[in-house]
Structure formats: structure tokens, C-alpha cells
């Protein structure tokens, strides 16, 4: 928890996101809150500026091919690691994938384009086949070229730009970090960072977190400077741990990296938490209450104007000190979200992703 800046304060968005090995950003408001709750006094606008103004963070695809915020300076490491993962498009040949990636890189070099605009640009550079609407997506069909989005991201051809209204937009990571190239041993660097943040961990844990095949992971472990301890592997020499467990309460939003990346699950989600705070064994679908370092409740917040109704469902009785700590955490949520929080301790009736 200290290494995730939960028990000690962080000082900048990039520092915090580096410590988490990326902030899950499929829901941007949750990513912003993950960062904001780790840095006392920081505003939501300051986190957004780190992405779109200062460009110390980049919105791109990270572990498991899902949308994440990553430190811009770390892009060479991530490209070096993810660029080694095999492309697996089903609707494109290897040659078509290469052509689409090259077209995307050319189109986005100095531009910010929506999916529709990028479709026109890719089709113009490759051929009409790239625009065939054959990819199943949310009761719709997407153009064939979108099969190569993950490959294009992993090869450094695209990242996210600020939305154009409600439309997602893309640009080149070269605009965030000019001259960026993949780090040859980026996969080893990434494993070392992962183990520092989440270790002890096993190859199975790392493969699940990164979304990588075991053969790839086994090769990276063979190249890494790691040693085996109880519970898995750590970076060699990184074996100092606090004598006492953390004390207190914390609120973590959807898909917080600490919850998603930590294993074994049964230690983080003991007792009732296993049934109530996981969705089919998948972590992150519920915002959680941590008590003394383990999941001990779920929570939900709903905004109406300036009022933020926060409902927290503990799985057991809170002590007076824990209740005071909870009040402080709720106040911080309201401060970061620039609203007036009102806390209710009781049942959370909504399901995952609500």
C-alpha cells in the first residue's frame, strides 16, 4: 500500500501512476479519482492537465490491451514490452495489419482524428477493404481496420487525444514524447516495476495482469534479475517489508490498480468480500472500502448538482476511529470531485459498473 501511495502521500500524477504501473482509464472519472485520492490537495483539473496540457501522462492501451493512463516518460518501456506481444487480428492478414498500422501512423503524425475521420484516412491510404464494416461491436459493426488498433498502439503508432465533443479521438504518441522508440529490454524493465509494486508475484500473476501468453512471460522471467520468496518472485534484493499491517480505512474507485493487480485474491478479498465485491472473480467492478489493508466493504457515489451522495456498505461494524477515518475519506472524495458529499452508511443496492 505504501508503494501505491495509499499509506504515504504522492506528489505528482506521473509519480503515482508509475507506482501503480498504470491507472485503468476505461472510465476516466475513476482513473482521475484513483490518482486524486493518492495526492493530498490535488484538484481534478490538475490531473486532467497532466494528460492534456503538461503531457506528463498519456492515455493509451496498457495491461490487457485496456485503456490506461501511463507516465509519458515510461512509453519506451511499455512499447518495448507490448511490442513483443504477438498481434492476433482475426479479420486482417499480417500484411494488412502492417499496412493499417503504417496508415494510422502517417495519418496521426500531426493530427487528432475521431474514429470516423481515421477510417477515411486509413481507407485512403490502404484501400476500401479497410473500411468494410465486419467487426462485431456493441450491436453494431466496426470497420475492418479497427482490428489493428491494439497492434498500432503497441507499435507506437497511436494514442488517445482529447475527445471531440462526445467522440473519441486519437493522435500520435510522438506528440507526447518526440522521438519515442521501444526500449529493447522494456519487458524486463516492466516486470521489475510490476514486482516492485505487486510482488511477491508468480509468472501466472504477471501473465494475467499484462494479458500475455505464458511462453512470453517465462522468457521475460528468465531474463530478469529476480529471486523467489514465499508467495512468488521479487526483484533481487527487494525484500524489506513493514513489520505491521496498515491501519485505517480507504475508499478506492472502480478498477483501482491496487485492487486489480494484487494477488492472491483470497487474501485481499476475505470472507464476505469474495462474494460481494468481486464479479465472477474479477476485481475492479465495484468501488471498495479497505479496512486495515483488505476489502471490507463496497461503496457508490451519485451526483446531483453539487451534492454527492456517497453510500458505504461495510461488511462489519466500524470502530469509532474507523468511522472518523471514513468521514475524512468521504470529505476528500467530495473535495476532489468539487462537490458537497453526504455520507450514508448502509446497503449499496446497485450492481457492478453502476
Q: Taking 90 as the threshold, does the pLDDT of residue 301 lie above it?
A: yes
Report residue 279's pLDDT band, with 50, 70 and 90 as the boundaries: confident
Q: Could you say which of 25, 51, 81 is where a domain stops?
A: 81
Is position 350 within any domain? no
Query: Which residues form the domain of 35?
Result: 1-81
Is position 15 within any domain? yes
- The reply to whether 4 and 68 lie within a common domain is yes
- The reply to whether 25 and 51 lie within a common domain is yes
Q: Kindly report the CATH number assigned to the domain that includes residue 132.
A: 1.10.10
pLDDT (tens digit per residue) in 43-91: 999 999 999 999 999 999 999 999 999 999 999 999 999 999 888 889 9
Q: Taking 90 as the threshold, does the pLDDT of residue 147 lie above it?
A: yes
State the Rg of the chain over Cα: 21
Give the pLDDT score at 241. Answer: 85
Alpha-carbon distance values, 263 to 188, 209, 280, 299, 347 (Å): 20, 10, 16, 22, 27
Distance CA(287)–CA(66), nearest Å, equals: 18
β-bridge pairing 232-235 and 226-229 = antiparallel
- The reply to whether 88 and 150 lie within a common domain is yes
Is position 114 within any domain? yes
- The reply to whether 253 and 341 lie within a common domain is yes
- The reply to whether 48 and 62 lie within a common domain is yes
Q: Could you say which of 207, 235, 263 is where a domain stops?
A: 235
| Upstream peptide bond of 338 is cis (omega within 30 degrees of 0) | no
| Upstream peptide bond of 200 is cis (omega within 30 degrees of 0) | yes
Crossing angle between the packed helical segments 13-20 and 28-36, to the nearest 10 degrees: 100
pLDDT (tens digit per residue) in 4-53: 999 999 999 999 999 999 999 999 999 999 999 999 999 999 999 999 99
- Are 83 and 75 in contact by the 8 Å Cβ rule? The answer is no
Q: Kindly report the CATH number assigned to the domain that includes residue 325.
A: 3.40.630
**pTM more than 0.85:** yes
- The reply to whether 221 and 301 lie within a common domain is no
Give the helix/strand (H/E) hosting 142.
strand 140-143
Q: Structurally, how many domains does the chain consist of? A: 4
- The reply to whether 106 and 134 lie within a common domain is yes
Give the pLDDT score at 185. Answer: 95
- The reply to whether 212 and 298 lie within a common domain is no
Distance CA(106)–CA(18), nearest Å, equals: 29
- The reply to whether 17 and 88 lie within a common domain is no
Distance CA(32)–CA(48), nearest Å, equals: 8
Q: What is the mean pLDDT of residues 172-188?
A: 96
SS (H, E, C) 199-261: CCECHHHHHHHHCCCHHHHHHHHHHCCEEEECCEEEECCCCCCCCCCCCCEEEECCCCHHHHH
> Which residues are within 8 A (CB) of 231 and not within 5 positions of it... i.e. 6 or more apart?
200, 201, 264
Is position 244 within any domain? no
Burial of 92 per CB tally in 10 Å (0-12, 13-18, 19+): buried
Burial of 139 per CB tally in 10 Å (0-12, 13-18, 19+): exposed
Alpha-carbon distance values, 254 to 17, 44, 101, 186, 215 (Å): 15, 16, 32, 28, 31
Is position 191 within any domain? yes
Alpha-carbon distance values, 318 to 187, 308, 309 (Å): 43, 22, 20
- The reply to whether 161 and 206 lie within a common domain is no
Is position 351 within any domain? no
Give the pLDDT score at 149. Answer: 95
- The reply to whether 201 and 267 lie within a common domain is no
Strand partners, 101: none
Q: Could you say which of 81, 109, 135 is where a domain stops?
A: 81
Is position 18 within any domain? yes
- The reply to whether 138 and 104 lie within a common domain is yes
Is position 12 within any domain? yes
Amino acid at each position: 500500500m505504501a508503494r501505491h501511495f495509499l499509506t504515504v502521500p504522492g506528489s505528482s500524477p506521473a509519480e503515482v501512476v508509475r507506482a501503480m504501473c498504470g491507472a485503468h482509464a476505461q472510465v476516466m472519472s475513476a482513473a482521475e479519482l484513483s490518482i486524486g485520492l493518492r495526492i493530498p490537495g490535488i484538484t481534478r483539473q490538475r490531473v486532467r492537465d497532466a494528460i492534456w496540457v503538461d503531457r506528463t501522462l498519456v492515455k493509451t492501451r496498457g495491461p490487457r490491451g485496456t485503456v490506461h493512463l501511463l507516465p509519458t516518460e515510461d512509453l519506451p518501456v511499455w512499447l518495448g514490452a507490448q511490442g513483443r506481444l504477438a498481434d492476433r487480428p482475426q479479420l486482417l492478414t499480417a500484411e494488412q495489419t502492417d499496412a493499417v498500422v503504417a496508415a494510422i501512423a502517417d495519418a496521426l503524425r500531426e493530427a487528432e482524428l475521431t474514429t470516423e475521420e481515421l477510417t477515411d484516412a486509413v481507407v485512403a491510404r490502404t484501400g476500401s477493404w479497410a473500411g468494410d464494416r465486419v467487426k462485431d461491436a456493441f450491436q453494431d459493426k466496426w470497420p475492418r481496420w479497427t482490428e489493428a488498433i491494439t497492434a498500432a498502439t503497441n507499435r507506437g503508432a497511436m494514442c488517445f487525444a482529447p475527445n471531440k465533443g462526445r467522440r473519441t479521438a486519437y493522435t500520435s504518441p510522438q506528440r507526447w514524447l518526440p522521438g519515442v522508440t521501444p526500449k529493447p529490454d522494456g519487458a524486463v524493465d516492466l516486470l521489475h516495476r510490476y514486482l516492485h509494486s505487486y510482488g511477491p508475484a508468480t509468472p501466472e500473476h504477471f501473465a494475467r495482469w499484462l494479458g500475455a501468453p505464458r511462453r512470453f512471460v517465462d522468457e521475460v522471467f528468465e531474463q530478469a534479475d529476480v529471486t523467489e520468496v514465499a508467495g512468488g518472485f521479487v526483484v533481487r534484493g527487494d525484500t524489506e517489508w513493514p513489520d505491521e499491517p496498515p491501519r485505517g480505512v480507504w475508499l478506492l474507485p472502480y478498477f483501482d490498480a491496487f485492487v486489480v493487480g494484487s494477488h492472491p485474491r483470497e487474501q485481499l478479498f476475505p470472507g464476505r468480500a469474495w462474494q460481494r465485491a468481486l464479479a465472477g472473480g474479477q476485481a475492479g467492478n465495484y468501488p471498495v472500502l479497505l479496512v486495515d489493508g483488505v476489502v471490507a466493504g463496497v461503496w457508490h457515489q451519485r451526483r446531483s448538482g453539487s451534492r454527492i451522495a456517497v453510500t458505504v456498505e461495510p461488511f462489519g461494524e466500524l470502530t469509532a476511529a474507523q468511522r472518523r477515518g471514513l468521514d475524512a475519506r468521504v470529505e476528500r472524495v467530495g473535495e476532489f470531485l468539487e462537490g458537497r458529499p453526504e455520507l450514508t452508511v448502509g446497503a449499496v443496492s446497485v450492481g457492478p459498473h453502476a
